[in-house]
Each structure stands twice: as structure tokens, then as C-alpha cells.
Chains A and B, each alone.
Chain A
């Protein structure tokens, strides 16, 4: 898989593409941690844009879980958006879609992130 970072105002987007399996999870996790550390602290927002993400296993889900927990501790607004069918299925089966904000697309995620008081 690969991923790139975009910054829009107080929102940092991590755009994830490809397959997030066991082999890809460690590198992606350290990238997410780096982004969160540099996101700007409480009031800032981090969104993982999954539009190009084709596959997530339980090892990949762990990255999302740790990110959501880190965000909670750091006072960051955290969400994911644009889940493809295959990825949405593992989010729903695992119940992760009930413990983190999941938006249908990037525009909705950005709107929600920027509407929160900084």
C-alpha cells in the first residue's frame, strides 16, 4: 500500500491506497503516529481517507484502533471516510464503525472536522 499526506487548514488528511494487510500495517502505523504527533495538538483534526483502500485485515484495523485512541488522548478530532465496500464490511463486522466517526466521503469528513470549535 502507499499513503500521502494533505493538509487543509487545521485538518491533516492521510490518503491511504492499496492493501492494508499484516505486511503493510507496521509502516502505516508509524506514519499515522507521525502525522498525529505533528497535527497541531488539541482542536486539530486527522482524517484517514480510505477511498483508494481496497483491503483491510484485522492487522490493518489495529492501526485505526490505535489512531482513534491516540486522538482521544491528544484531544484531536479523528475520523475515517470513503470506505470501499470491502473495507466497510470489516469495519462493520468488528464494530469499529461504532467507536469511531465514519463519513461517507471526504467532503463530509472535512465539513465535520472544520465545523468543530478549535
Chain B
């Protein structure tokens, strides 16, 4: 199962992207617990593009694709903004005291922690971030069981 969409890189598109992902997960009969890490990842990566991917006067284009193969869901977020590898950001200090806490970097940290695999590539004029995770389908037998 595959689906793709394309939106301009502006904050107002977040709701449409979230709906696109939720519709896909619903059609694929994924439980909401499986969809959640992808919802977080989509928001965090898309908002990064919104904040940094559109230099003055030109709005980035953002393509999102979802591919469910066997039990692996892969999401790719591709944008035509300036080269930027979000995975190069330093990890936040999740043990810092309240006063020293910063939210910057937490989004990408969530993506790394929640996904099974994350990779970045600059391909021609485009940034490509691929994220994948094994998901359990609502109607599938648990992994490792052998029906019959």
C-alpha cells in the first residue's frame, strides 16, 4: 500500500498532512498506537522545513510519501529547500534542570527515538528524510506466532 501528497512548506498545511497520514493509517487498519510515532515525526520534520526550508521569497515544496510493505511503514519527507540534515543536530540534554531546558532539538530526538531507522540524503536540489518502523496491524497475528 502506498500513498503520496505534496504541499507548500507553510505551517497552515500541517493539518492537511496530519489528515493524510491518519487516513492512510485508517485505511491500512493500523492501530492508533502505531500511527502516533509517524504523526510526531511528520509534524517535527515538516515544521523544521517550514521554519528553515523557505529562504526569503520562495516557499519550499514538500512531498510526503507513505509505503506499507509487510509490517514496515516507511515515510519519506522530501523538500526542495536549502541543504539541511536534521540528523546533524546535536541531541538535547534530556537530563538538564528546569532552568536549563530547551525545546530546540527535541523534535528530531523524538524521531530518532521513536523510529526503527532514519536516514537523510541530499539528492540533487532536494533534502530527503526517510523514516521507517515496524508496525503491528490491528487484524494481524502477533509477530512470531505461527497460526495452525
Contacts and interface: CB of A to CB of B under 8 A. Distances in A.
Interface of A: 21-23, 55, 57-59, 61-62, 65, 68-69, 72, 85-86, 89-90, 93-96, 98-100
A22 B98 contact: no
A73 B36 CA distance: 34
B107 interface: yes
A100 B15 contact: no
Interface stretch (B37-45, B62-70, B71-79, B124-132): B37-45
B94 interface: yes
Contacts of B18: 21
Interface in B26-68: 32-33, 36, 39-40, 43-44, 47
Contacts of A58: 44, 103, 106-107, 110
A95 B107 contact: no
Contacts of B92: 94
Given A21-B18, A55-B40, 20 more contacts: A21-B14, A23-B15, A55-B36, A55-B39, A57-B40, A57-B44, A58-B107, A58-B110, A59-B43, A59-B103, A59-B107, A65-B98, A68-B98, A69-B99, A72-B98, A72-B99, A93-B109, A93-B110, A95-B94, A99-B96
Contact of B98 (A85, A89, A100): A100
B103 A65 contact: yes
